[in-house]
């Protein structure tokens, strides 16, 4: 069964093939020159057909396995590089530059009509039609990512896809979180509709992000309850509040839904935690209490602290700038403004010009013999994915949180991020209420 490209831990064979490709590029000056500035690469394992043509690449040491390789966009201004699959459709930038915005738009539509892709049923459809079926217009660059190139090559030759992965090679970009050698999920804006169509008819693992059976889903634990509020520990893998419905999938069960049943009355959210983050949250039972608590959050009168385990510095590529050296007792502050990555939501990126201010204080509580570090993180702002980006980005700690598949964290059985401390004034009588939760993970 093919892994779901939107949420996955790379198969061992894909990880081995990726390392082999990185070594091959490192040993080939012409390839290194093409990719060293930073490029997303892809690997697709396929079932070997009866005859293997010259356009297939079999990496040494992987006997019995056939791997295809691709890259996103252009490399050195070219869409064709020996050893990598060709583009779905070859074009030049001047092909879509018109004399007016309207002419450029028509040329862009023409271009996406030329990108005709296959799916697992043998059906064909243009990228323009695939997006139009959803009431969307394809963003620029759609169809040029590594994953659709690889699938198109395999499907057009009758090859059965077995496993896929996309990883970053080279220098980290200034805005996005990209680390040399780390795997990342396919983007949602460009590849979401496209890969979803191409995978129709293939045996593909369900996306765990669209199911309640995600990582360590367990029962929430209520820590405090009265007539105005309820404080609860959210398990990792559970939505904090109801999410946006996903067509074709059953509704997700959220912590807010669970509490409404538990309290036998509607509860209202005051703040959020990422689905993959565990820890303390407070909900209210009345609109008045909700307004009072939300005001405290807006005025930054609520104190929150998180525990996180980040990757070892030794896991960074030695040829590139390493992450921040972390020693027990060390403290610091990260200030990197954040903005949504509109073509790859819910990912966030650093935007020094247009991003919203985001400030995080950190303290190193413990450094393991393996080099992984346990941190205490205090956010002074509440931006989406703030702690995850500040830990992972090269301008922050350069140390992704373990289990953070979205931002290149090393594989783990969950996201190692836990909301461990929450302090606020009771919305009814103003008394200070403080809650602490022990770390639920040790590795």
Distance CA 233, CA 51 (A): 56
Using the CB atoms, write b or e for 142-152: b if 16+ within 10 Å: bbbbbbbbbbb
The neighbouring-strand residues paired with 234 are: 279
β-bridge pairing 417-425 and 331-335:
unpaired
Round to the nearest angstrom and report the end-to-end CA distance of the chain. 29
Token code pair at residue 244: 């946006």
The neighbouring-strand residues paired with 377 are: 306, 362
CA distances from 380 to 37, 300, 350, 398 (A): 34, 7, 17, 20
Is position 274 annotated as part of the catalytic site?
A: yes
CA dihedral 67, 71, 72, 77 (to 10 degrees): -150
Of 203, 226, 274, 276, the catalytic one is: 274
113: left (phi over 0), alpha (psi -120 to 50) or beta: alpha
Does the N-terminal peptide bond of residue 346 adopt cis geometry, omega within 30 degrees of 0?
Answer: yes
* Closest to 187 measured CA to CA, from 345, 40, 388: 345
Distance CA 76, CA 53 (A): 26
Task: Name the helix (H) or strand (E) containing 229.
Answer: strand 229-234
- Residues serving a catalytic function are 274
């Amino acid at each position: 069964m093919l892994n779901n490209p939107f949420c996955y831990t790379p198969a061992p064979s894909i990880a081995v093939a990726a390392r082999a490709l990185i070594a091959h590029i490192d040993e080939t000056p012409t390839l290194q020159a093409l990719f060293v500035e930073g490029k997303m690469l892809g690997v697709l394992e396929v079932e070997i057909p009866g005859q293997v043509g010259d356009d297939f690449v079999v990496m040494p040491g992987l006997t019995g396995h056939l791997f295809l390789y691709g890259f996103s966009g252009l490399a050195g201004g070219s869409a064709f590089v020996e050893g990598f699959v060709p583009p779905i459709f070859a074009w030049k930038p001047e092909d879509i530059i018109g004399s007016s915005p309207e002419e450029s738009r028509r040329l862009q539509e023409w271009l996406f009509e030329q990108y005709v892709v296959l799916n697992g049923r043998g059906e064909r459809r243009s990228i323009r039609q695939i997006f139009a079926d959803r009431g969307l217009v394809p963003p620029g660059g759609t169809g040029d990512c590594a994953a659709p190139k690889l699938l198109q090559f395999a499907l057009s030759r009758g090859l059965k896809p077995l496993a896929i992965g996309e990883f970053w090679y080279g220098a980290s970009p200034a805005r996005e979180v990209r680390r040399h050698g780390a795997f990342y999920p396919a983007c949602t804006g460009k590849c979401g509709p496209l890969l979803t169509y191409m995978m129709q008819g293939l045996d593909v693992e369900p996306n765990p992000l669209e199911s309640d059976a995600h990582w360590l889903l367990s029962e929430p634990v209520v820590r405090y309850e009265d007539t105005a509020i309820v404080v609860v520990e959210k398990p990792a893998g559970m939505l904090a509040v109801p999410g946006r419905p996903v067509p074709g999938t059953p509704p997700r069960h959220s912590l807010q839904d669970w509490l409404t049943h538990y309290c036998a009355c509607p509860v209202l959210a005051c703040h959020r935690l990422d689905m993959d983050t565990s820890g303390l949250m407070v909900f209210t039972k009345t609109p008045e209490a909700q307004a009072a608590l939300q005001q405290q959050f807006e005025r930054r009168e609520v104190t929150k602290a998180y525990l996180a385990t980040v990757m070892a510095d030794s896991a960074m590529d030695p040829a590139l700038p390493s992450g921040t050296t972390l020693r027990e007792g060390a403290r610091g502050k990260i200030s990197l403004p954040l903005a949504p990555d509109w073509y790859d939501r819910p990912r966030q990126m650093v935007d020094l010009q247009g991003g919203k201010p985001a400030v995080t204080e950190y303290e190193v509580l413990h450094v393991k013999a393996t080099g992984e570090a346990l941190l205490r993180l205090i956010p002074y702002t509440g931006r989406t994915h703030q702690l995850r980006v500040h830990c992972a980005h090269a301008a922050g700690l350069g140390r992704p949180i373990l289990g953070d598949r979205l931002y290149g964290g090393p594989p783990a059985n969950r996201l190692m991020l836990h909301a461990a401390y929450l302090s606020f004034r009771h919305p009814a009588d103003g008394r200070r209420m403080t809650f602490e939760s022990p770390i639920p993970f040790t590795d």
